[in-house]
Amino acid sequence: MLIYGATGYTGTLIVHEASRRGIDFEIAGRSEDRLSALAAELNVPYHVFPVADREGWKSALKGKTALLNIAGPFSETAEQAMEAAIKSQVHYFDITAEVDIYRLAESKDVAAEAAGIMLLSGAGLFATYDPLVVHTAKRVENPVAMRAAFKYSGGFTPGSVASSGNIINAGLLVRKNGEIKKLTEAPSASFDLGDGPEDFSLMPLGGLVISYKSTGIPDIEEYFAMAVPAEEGSDTFKEGHPVAASGAERSKIFIEVTGEDGTVVRSMADTQDGYMPTVTSAVEVVMHALNGSFKIGFQSPASAYGAELLTSLPDVNITDF
Ligand SMILES: NC(=O)c1ccc[n+]([C@@H]2O[C@H](COP(=O)([O-])OP(=O)(O)OC[C@H]3O[C@@H](n4cnc5c(N)ncnc54)[C@H](OP(=O)(O)O)[C@@H]3O)[C@@H](O)[C@H]2O)c1
């Protein structure tokens, strides 16, 4: 595996997890000083090149099975990294939550299929979210509508703040009758994730593309809320780390699916707060491909690995109601 963007906050956690799990990997990115220090610490080879450097990609991807791109915001890196993976016939993974990147991955379906590779965007948060949608959808006959509410507990790194800007700038997107549409006014929504009704904001998280791929549900709306940091008004990132939310809160993903006959079911996953769920998920998903389990073309976590993926993720609790 090649891990590009290895020196960021999430990248550093991921390379340590990959090392802990005994994966054969090399690291890459644009910053020589940080890469050389990290490579020395882990005793792995490293490659320094900017995302636009095609020769850099070609050389770094030689002999690799998979590329894990963690350099975000992905609006600056995904196009070049996906193209490089297709050209070098190496499976592509990233951990984006930027909806436009999922649309980009979807647009490269035919090219990825022709190259015989899997192009799986969203191996972080969506490794829990997407299989949970499939799990919930299986509880009704003919699912016709889905609403998701994600409550994130923890702070944001600079990369995540930049990515959040891209998500907000994508606009008030929903899927209606199978098509992505932009609303002019945000519908308000209240969900009870176990602590009483709470207000959530409409925000396209990527299920619009990814969970449509895995389930074909024609109507999808996604909502987001953030548990506030411990100190009111404080930064979400201090001294090199995201600031934890108050108390022992966990991040929660809530999925509501409506069946054709009007039956409504709800399932929720709760995970550790902060970035660790993304770290363990990304490494777990890539390991599937390294072990020879993959589907070619554009894939989502659940279109590739089904609802069963949930059982391979540590510290994820599922509640059905
Ligand atoms: N959806 C999820 O599950 C999830 C969870 C966690 C993080 N993320 C996303 O993952 C991304 C990285 O997060 P992070 O916490 O590691 O952020 P971070 O600590 O700010 O690090 C960003 C990393 O990306 C690299 N980078 C940024 N722009 C680049 C460019 N144009 N070319 C090459 N490298 C570039 C940086 O390289 P330098 O070190 O050289 O600056 C750094 O290694 C963000 O987009 C974040 O939103 C998603």
What's the CA dihedral at 7, 66, 210, 257 to 10 degrees? -90
The pTM is what? Answer: 0.95
Rounded average pLDDT over 189-199: 94
Distance 74 CA to ligand 1 centre (A): 8
d(CA 175, CA 241): 35
Q: Give the chain's count of helices (H) and strands (E).
A: 11, 18
Q: What tens digit of pLDDT does each residue of 90-146 get?
A: 999 999 999 999 999 999 999 999 999 999 999 999 999 999 999 999 999 999 999
Q: Which atom, in ligand 1's list, is nearest to the CA of 277? A: 3
Residue nearest to atom 26 of ligand 1 (CA): 71
Paired strand residues for 94: 69, 121
Q: Token digits for 199? A: 């207000």
Amino acid symbol at 34: R
Burial string for 57-75 (b: 16+ CB within 10 Å, else e) reads: beebbeebbbbbbbbbbbb
Distance 6 CA to ligand 1 centre (A): 9
Quickly state the pLDDT bin for 164 (edges 50, 70, 90): confident
Pocket of ligand 1 (CB under 6 A): 5, 7-11, 29-31, 34, 51, 70-74, 76-77, 95, 97, 124-125, 157-160, 163, 275, 278
Residue nearest to atom 25 of ligand 1 (CA): 71
d(CA 237, CA 27): 25
Does residue 236 register a pLDDT over 90?
A: no
Q: Which atom, in ligand 1's list, is nearest to the CA of 7? A: 43
Distance 100 CA to ligand 1 centre (A): 16
Concatenating the DSSP letter of every residue in 1-27 gives: -EEETTTSHHHHHHHHHHHHTT---EE
Distance 233 CA to ligand 1 centre (A): 24
d(CA 258, CA 273): 28
Distance 153 CA to ligand 1 centre (A): 19
70, 156, 271: residue to mutate for ligand 1 pocket, most atoms within 8 A of CB: 70
Distance 199 CA to ligand 1 centre (A): 29
- φ, ψ of residue 261 to 5 degrees: the values are -85, 5
Q: What tens digit of pLDDT does each residue of 282-302 get?
A: 999 999 999 999 999 999 999
- φ, ψ of residue 183 to 5 degrees: the values are -85, 155
Of 196, 198, 185, the closest CA to residue 224 belongs to 198
With beta carbons less than 8 A apart as the criterion, state whether 266 and 136 touch.
Answer: yes
The pLDDT, as a whole number, for residue 266 is 98
Amino acid symbol at 231: E
Does residue 247 register a pLDDT over 90?
A: no
The pLDDT, as a whole number, for residue 292 is 97
